[in-house]
Amino acid sequence: MFLGFVISLYKWGKIKINYFFFYIIKRRFFHVPCFSFISFYYSYNIFSQSNITKIKNRLKRLLIPYIIWPLIVYIKNILFTKNLSFYPLKMQLLLGRQFMTPHWYLFSITIITIFIYILSNLIKTDFLFYAQLLMILIYIGQYSNYYQFLNIYKPNVKYPILDTLSIFPLCVTGLIMSSINVFQFCKKYKEKVIFFSFIFLFFIFKYNCFVDLGGYNGIMNIFASFFFFSIFYLLPLENINKNFERIIKHITNFTQGVYCLQSIMNPFINKVFNIHGTFKSIIITYFISYLISFIGFQIFGKTNLKYLFI
């Protein structure tokens, strides 16, 4: 449910809505920080146990949509524009951004997954300690304006580096929180934690209580992702209607498919319906992306192509 909410925030942030959460997202996009934190929070055992089978499955889940969706779009562009240049596809696959910019997230998460796995095999039980040291070094460099040194490179080279460095601390924080079972502890005080998380988010965003000096997705993202996740992870849903619970679980199974399809659906929907930046465009984009993901999973659910849709 939380991931679905994050995707909605990403889209709704472009609309002038004054409710609190929309106020937050209009100022900063937290969809990718939350994804990064959550992705590695639920992956700690994969790295701590050096489980090669689960690592392979994780990489399939990341690389299949990362490679195949751009291939489909590239072929479509050739058919409609007759432009046979291989350069856009090459740059998209090498660096994660060219004509499908939202896929940079898959690129960065893949790089970090491989790096953490190698680290966990080389250093075993102390891999998180060294990952934390690297996280600190990244923030020291970031708050010292390290990204200015990358201005000599083209944007499609510069930004993959910056993006990967910016979400690395979030990934490590997710691993740390999982390793110490912080949310299991918080469950004992869920109402207080939810209340504090909401108050914290309200004040730091509404009243600029926390000034992020990093300039490029700084430490603010760790606080925001942690407290956003705390609110939704700890919601007292024990007595939720079982049918409603099944619907939520079903829909959220297709979250990554919906995320990947956004960059394909948005231009089509804006052109056909001419409703860019409206609430209606959100509903239509999500519905069509979900429908394609659902149908695709029904067809390819027993093959590795299922990772295009879930």
132 and 152 share a domain? yes
- Asked if residues 180 and 46 have their Cβ atoms less than 8 Å apart, the reply is no
227 and 306 share a domain? no
275 or 272, higher pLDDT: 272
130 and 44 share a domain? yes
- Asked if residues 102 and 35 have their Cβ atoms less than 8 Å apart, the reply is no
Domain boundary among 182, 207, 236: 236
Domain that holds residue 249: 238-310
Rounded to an integer, what distance in angstroms lies between the CA atom of residue 129 and that of residue 140?
A: 17
Rounded to an integer, what distance in angstroms lies between the CA atom of residue 167 and that of residue 238?
A: 32
- Number of domain units in the chain: 2
Q: Grade residue 66 by pLDDT with cuts at 50, 70 and 90.
A: very high
Q: What is the pLDDT of residue 58?
A: 95
Q: What is the pLDDT of residue 277?
A: 63
Q: Is the per-residue pLDDT at 308 higher than 80?
A: yes
97 or 58, higher pLDDT: 58
Q: What is the pLDDT of residue 200?
A: 86
Q: Which has the minimum average pLDDT: 52-66, 142-156, 283-297?
A: 142-156
- Asked if residues 265 and 74 have their Cβ atoms less than 8 Å apart, the reply is no
Q: What is the pLDDT of residue 17?
A: 45
165 and 255 share a domain? no
Nearest to 109 by CA among 204, 214, 32: 32
| 215 CB-near residues (< 8 Å, 6+ apart) | 142, 145, 147
Task: Tell me, yes or no, whether 1 lies in a domain.
Answer: no
Structure tokens at 30: 């937290």
124 and 270 share a domain? no
**DSSP H helical ranges for 82-154:** 87-95, 104-123, 127-142
pLDDT in tens, 203-250: 877 776 666 666 666 888 898 889 989 998 898 777 778 888 888 888
Q: H-helix or E-strand containing 272?
A: helix 255-273
**Reduced to 3 states, what is the DSSP secondary structure of residue 49?**
coil
Domain boundary among 204, 236, 268: 236
Domain boundary among 206, 236, 266: 236
158 and 247 share a domain? no
What average pLDDT does the chain have? Answer: 84
244 and 196 share a domain? no
96 and 219 share a domain? yes
| 157 CB-near residues (< 8 Å, 6+ apart) | 95
192 or 144, higher pLDDT: 192
**Mean pLDDT of all residues in 108-118:** 96
251 or 113, higher pLDDT: 113
**Mean pLDDT of all residues in 45-61:** 92
3-state class percentages of the chain: helix first, strand second, coil last, to nearest 5 = 80, 0, 20
Q: What is the pLDDT of residue 100?
A: 87
